[in-house]
Chain A
Amino acid sequence: MLWLAIFFLVPMGFLGYQSLQSGLFPHFQFTWAFSNFSSALSGYHTQLIRSFVYAGIATVACLVLAYPLVYWIAFRAGPWRNLFLLIIVAPFFVTYLVRTLAWLNILADEGPVVRILRDIHVLGPDGRLLATTFSVVAGITYNFFPFMALPLYVSLEQIDARLLEAAKDLYSSPTQAFLRVTLPLSAPGIVAGTLLTFIPAAGDFINAALLGTPNQAMIGNVIQAKFLESLDYPTAASLSFILMGTILIALLVYARIVGPEKLTG
């Protein structure tokens, strides 16, 4: 409780205090400026909605990519399981920033990937990957992939193979067995994975900052810039609260849909 008080409630209190100040840096005054919230919302709802759309697409992409891969590792990889898991996790021994900067070089307009895609006419002669919505969403997907893959693996790995044999014995087709046995049993992993991916992805700013343009700016970029570039602490603090609130609401809706017991595993 003390831990929670010192490292969560006190900072939240400061942030709340700051969100109700007004003035131009560094001369802020506390004025109960609730208008910060409404002006922040009306000024930056585009970026807020964009953040949730990008995070949503990236979460679905992570799920679609991770599920078959992890399924294969859990049921088919046999003794090589740990090696494959290590391969998934290995890039994450390098810091987030450097990984994203690496994509900046890989996807560069004059780099090899873009050149090949232009040669095979997937991209037009002036086409590019960097500084597009695609590169930002792809960056988020890449960077949060293990947060989806690992919880999924844990839940898939725990499934008793005999249950699948039993399903087969009872004349269910492989599709039916998957839909009625495997999928429900892996649901806790899906729920945990989507939450672990979606929540940080919605507040992410590195991918949009490095791989996007102002037209891809997410709410994290706005908050970051408000705090560190434009020095508008009150708006930044109110936006942080709005982001937290929206995520909380999204979480409650999600819990309602999947059933609250799934959230706690």
Chain B
Amino acid sequence: MSSRMTREDLLRRGAVGVGALSVPGLLAACGGSSPKSAGSSDKVNKVMNFANWPYYIDTPTTLKAAGIHKPTTLKQFTEKTGIKVNYYEEVNDNPGYFAKVEGRLSKGQGIDRDIIVSTDNDRFLGEYISNKWAQKLDKSMIPNIKNLIPAQQHPPFDPDRDYSLPWASGMDGIGWNDKVTDPVTSVKQLFEDPKLKGRVGVWNSMGDTLGLIMLENGDDPAKVTDASFNRAIARLQKAVNSGQIRKFYGNDYAPVLAKGDLAATMAWSGDIANLADPHVHWLVPTQGGIIWTDNMIIPLGGSVPTASTYMNFMYGPMISAQWALGANYISSVKDVKQAAVKLDPKAASNDLTFPTDKTLSQMHQNDPKMLTNPDYNKKWLAVQGQ
């Protein structure tokens, strides 16, 4: 295990994750302290509450590892604007987080968060926006929105980017621990190599896991048919039945992989870089990977001016470059690579964070219709024993 994670961290993370599961109303109850009613505030607050996934921002440790001697982007933001950020690493998976906040949002109440992050290859980002549980961005306060790359300007869930802005993109691939296994380069090996039995992880999010399996099957994850869906499910079911799969993970597989209980697992590109464990590696499977984007939205009750101020800050190329080098995920800001090279000359060759066209050509996207199909969702849960 690297110095980045102590045993105490591990226990705390596990405890927070599972504790949240066992206390369903916890978050809703905490939200009750928020005095703001939906969308009422029009001035910038002194404090911003930000809910994000773990391993998703530059920290003093990751910046040090990247050789950048600057305060974290959060700290720079506070210095520049006087807004203190409470940064909560409380999103472990999209459906779980949605379930926690849905109760209050559906009643038009705030959840005591100004920004939350949700992924485009799950159906919940669309739910937040179409149910009007997300507030409109104040674009007059986000002049840096001009830096948004063209590929991200018109996503299907938010065609004019009125409600959301990308936080980060990342790639689905395979992570493995060289203390316990040789390189694992394909989903086929992950699912069928008897040496890995019981030591393989997959995600509990449908798009990611089935996407990689479909690529292995030679099917197109961007155009899913009943036949290709069933093929992918059958292949996964076989691996579950044979005892190959240890567990369906949210964002909590990384420490388990580092410990060696998992030999190999489906893994997100930046998580493995963030572990900074010399024994843990990541690669794009031979048959290709999946790319996705997490998006920031302002939930009901959040302060639009405060959140917009922050979004504008994060869309400055230098800040975004520092974040990308520290978080090891892909920025949606134009010219971020040129900015990053100024911070770290090695950045130009960092293919995970600043992927080349060649790497991007190996990447595929999920079919949004697959994600919202109730029948598919049922089958996806059944394979998890749910």
Q: Which single member of B15, B259, B385 contacts A214 (CB below 8 Å)?
A: B385
* Nearest residue, chain B, Cβ from A46: B385
Measured CA separation A71–B225 after assembly (Å): 64
Measured CA separation A47–B385 after assembly (Å): 8
- The answer on a CB contact under 8 Å between A232 and B259 is no
Interface presence of B43 (CB below 8 A): no
Measured CA separation A230–B100 after assembly (Å): 12
Residues of the B chain whose Cβ atoms lie less than 8 Å from the Cβ of A101? 11, 14-15, 18
Measured CA separation A135–B11 after assembly (Å): 19
Measured CA separation A121–B237 after assembly (Å): 32
Interface presence of A43 (CB below 8 A): yes
Measured CA separation A78–B246 after assembly (Å): 47
Interface presence of A224 (CB below 8 A): yes
Residues of the B chain whose Cβ atoms lie less than 8 Å from the Cβ of A43? 382
Residues of the B chain whose Cβ atoms lie less than 8 Å from the Cβ of A224? 21-22
- Mask for A213-240, Cβ within 8 A of B = 1, else 0? 1110100011011111111100000000
Interface presence of A104 (CB below 8 A): yes
- The answer on a CB contact under 8 Å between A229 and B204 is yes
Q: Shortest Cβ distance from A134 into chain B, in angstroms?
A: 13
Q: Which single member of A47, A131, A209, A225 contacts B246 (CB below 8 Å)?
A: A131
Q: Shortest Cβ distance from A7 into chain B, in angstroms?
A: 15
Interface presence of A55 (CB below 8 A): no
Interface presence of A73 (CB below 8 A): no
Measured CA separation A26–B248 after assembly (Å): 24
Measured CA separation A105–B259 after assembly (Å): 9
* Nearest residue, chain B, Cβ from A224: B21
Task: Give the size range of A's interface with the partner.
Answer: 35 or more
Residues of the B chain whose Cβ atoms lie less than 8 Å from the Cβ of A132? 198
Residues of the B chain whose Cβ atoms lie less than 8 Å from the Cβ of A221? 385-386
Q: A214-B245, A229-B95 are in contact. Are A98 and B198 (CB under 8 A)?
A: no
Most A-side CB within 10 Å, residue of B199, B245, B260, B386? B386
Residues of the A chain whose Cβ atoms lie less than 8 Å from the Cβ of B21? 224, 228
Residues of the B chain whose Cβ atoms lie less than 8 Å from the Cβ of A232? 381
Residues of the B chain whose Cβ atoms lie less than 8 Å from the Cβ of A105? 7, 10-11
Interface presence of B24 (CB below 8 A): yes
Measured CA separation A105–B14 after assembly (Å): 12
Measured CA separation A28–B234 after assembly (Å): 29
Measured CA separation A214–B39 after assembly (Å): 42
Measured CA separation A230–B95 after assembly (Å): 7
Q: Shortest Cβ distance from A102 into chain B, in angstroms?
A: 8
* Nearest residue, chain A, Cβ from B102: A26
Most A-side CB within 10 Å, residue of B11, B93, B106, B195? B11
Measured CA separation A101–B377 after assembly (Å): 30
- The answer on a CB contact under 8 Å between B247 and A230 is no
Q: Shortest Cβ distance from B183 into chain A, in angstroms?
A: 18
Measured CA separation A97–B20 after assembly (Å): 11
Measured CA separation A208–B100 after assembly (Å): 22
Residues of the A chain whose Cβ atoms lie less than 8 Å from the Cβ of B381? 225-226, 230, 232
Q: Shortest Cβ distance from A21 into chain B, in angstroms?
A: 14
Residues of the B chain whose Cβ atoms lie less than 8 Å from the Cβ of A215? 240-241, 243, 385
Interface presence of B360 (CB below 8 A): no
Q: Shortest Cβ distance from B339 into chain A, in angstroms?
A: 39
- The answer on a CB contact under 8 Å between A230 and B261 is no
- Mask for B22-56, Cβ within 8 A of A = 1, else 0? 10100000000000000000000000000000000
Residues of the B chain whose Cβ atoms lie less than 8 Å from the Cβ of A209? 18
Interface presence of A210 (CB below 8 A): yes
* Nearest residue, chain B, Cβ from A104: B14
- The answer on a CB contact under 8 Å between B98 and A231 is yes
5 A-B pairs whose Cβ atoms sit less than 8 Å apart in the complex: A128-B198, A130-B261, A228-B21, A229-B204, A231-B102
